């Protein structure tokens, strides 16, 4: 028998394909599929059960597990080394055959040698929520903007994977969200500069719910330094997080969305500094501009797969609820010294410089993210400014 790691790896590869095949077409070109939550079992009992059918080709089915329940679909051994298209073809044929016989798609799929995948029945209280059964991953979540985005996604029915660097900060953040959202929240440690960490993070989300539908790229860091004073290694630190971290995350989620076959949404948290950089913010502005440009390129490359990629560009967000902005914790002291202001005075400065004279919050950023995530318009490759109105930062 294969080891547990091999079993898990096989299910992780196959689960998104199955999840895509089980999604129901809606007839809505903006939201073409209604997704399912797909759970997995790869313990010995599940492996033995998956191998229990005498005919694993799908032509004969055992009795239902529960009276009135339709029987599981047993599928002959799937080679995890096969191409995604070969796996989709094999499983698609089996699911189609089952559907013709029983009038609906299977709720339990037994994969010989790998384990069991099954759809989870959702709470009726979430019925009607625009993002019901959708799975979102938010990187760099444990801060002011991340908190606003996570709350907004949860309120709209999402299952949410909040990711950040491992440690007490992420653990406490996830525990806080669980108080109101329960099992719809998991905390996933991801270092976006480490490809293995990104891959394992996505695998953890897939093991929990079968796949991912929405990615919010929020991980980013900043520093204050004039160009003539920037240390190269300090610049490279921003480049690793803001540029390489975005690239690694986009690369892995693109592969996932293509395998799942139901499209997807990527929302990148950009910044007003892309169109309107400021003195002393050169490293941040340049690396976030590269991050932003990667998003625009992804929108071109992934549109053919039904994936939409958009950006939101906030100005200074200092806090949301009890969560402080990590970015402003880093750069705020320098900004305050440069202007002779305390923290409240700095926030007032940023409020008073925009046309609407409004303080930008994490909730405001979340509303822009939700505009894209709920697909209010057929839009990709664009940016929503969330800055209260800054004429020099208007995308042009």
Contact predicate 289/278, CB 8 Å: no
Residue 229 gets which letter from DSSP?
Answer: G
CA distances from residue 8 to 14, 173, 200, 203 in whole angstroms, order as listed: 10, 27, 12, 9
H runs (alpha helix) in 210-340: 232-238, 245-260, 282-302, 326-339
CA distances from residue 205 to 23, 48, 133, 216 in whole angstroms, order as listed: 18, 25, 13, 14
Contact predicate 280/222, CB 8 Å: no
CA angle (317, 318, 321) in 5-degree steps: 100
Contact predicate 174/186, CB 8 Å: yes
User: Residue 368: which of 381, 355, 385 has the closest Cα?
Assistant: 385
Q: What are phi and psi of 284, to 5 degrees?
A: -65, -50
For residue 284, indicate whether it is catalytic: yes
Place of tokens 């969560």: 323
Phi-psi label, residue 167: left if phi above 0, alpha if psi -120 to 50, beta otherwise: left
Among residues 33, 284, 323, 350, which one is catalytic?
284
- DSSP run (H or E) holding 313: strand 307-314
Beta-carbon contacts of 109 under 8 Å, excluding residues fewer than 6 positions away, are 18, 72, 73, 75, 91, 95, 116, 117, 118
What CA dihedral angle connects 102, 103, 107 and 109, to 10 degrees?
Answer: 50
Distance (Å, rounded) from C-alpha 267 to C-alpha 265?
Answer: 7
Query: Structure tokens of 257?
Result: 């969305």
- DSSP run (H or E) holding 191: none
Distance (Å, rounded) from C-alpha 393 to C-alpha 285?
Answer: 12
> Around Cβ 232, how many Cβ atoms within 10 Å?
8
> Which residues are part of the catalytic machinery?
284
């Amino acid at each position: 028998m294969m080891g547990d790691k091999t079993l898990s790896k096989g299910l992780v590869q196959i689960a998104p394909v199955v999840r895509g095949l089980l999604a129901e077409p809606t007839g809505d070109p903006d939201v073409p599929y209604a997704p399912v939550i797909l759970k997995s079992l790869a313990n010995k009992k599940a492996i033995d059960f998956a191998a229990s059918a005498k005919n694993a080709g799908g032509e004969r089915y055992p009795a239902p597990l529960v009276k009135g329940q339709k029987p599981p679909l047993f599928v002959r051994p799937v080679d995890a080394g096969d191409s995604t298209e070969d796996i989709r073809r094999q499983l698609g044929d089996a699911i189609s055959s089952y559907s013709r016989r029983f009038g609906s798609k299977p709720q339990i799929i037994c994969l010989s040698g790998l384990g069991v995948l099954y759809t989870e029945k959702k709470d009726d209280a979430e019925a009607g929520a625009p993002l019901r059964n959708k799975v979102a991953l938010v990187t760099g979540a444990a801060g002011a903007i991340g908190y606003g985005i996570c709350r907004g996604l949860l309120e709209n029915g999402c299952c949410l994977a909040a990711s950040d660097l491992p440690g007490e900060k992420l653990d406490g953040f996830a525990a806080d969200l669980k108080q109101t959202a329960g099992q719809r929240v998991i905390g996933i440690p991801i270092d976006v500069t480490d490809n293995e960490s990104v891959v394992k993070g996505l695998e953890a989300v897939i093991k929990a719910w079968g796949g991912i539908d929405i990615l919010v790229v929020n991980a980013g860091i900043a520093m204050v330094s004039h160009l003539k004073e920037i240390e190269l290694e300090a610049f490279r630190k921003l480049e690793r997080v803001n540029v390489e971290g975005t690239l690694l995350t986009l690369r892995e989620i693109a592969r996932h969305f293509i395998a799942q076959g139901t499209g997807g949404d990527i929302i990148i948290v950009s910044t007003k500094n892309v169109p309107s950089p400021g003195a002393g913010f050169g490293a941040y502005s340049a690396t976030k501009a590269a991050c932003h440009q990667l998003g625009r390129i992804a929108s071109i490359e992934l549109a053919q797969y039904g994936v939409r990629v958009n950006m939101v560009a906030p100005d200074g967000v200092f806090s949301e609820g009890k969560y402080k902005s990590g970015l402003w914790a880093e750069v705020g002291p320098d900004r305050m010294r440069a202007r002779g202001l305390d923290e409240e005075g700095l926030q007032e400065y940023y409020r008073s410089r925009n046309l609407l004279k409004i303080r930008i919050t994490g909730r405001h950023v979340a509303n822009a993210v939700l505009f894209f995530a709920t697909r209010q318009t057929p839009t990709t490759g664009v940016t929503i400014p969330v800055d209260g109105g800054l004429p020099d930062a208007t995308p042009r």
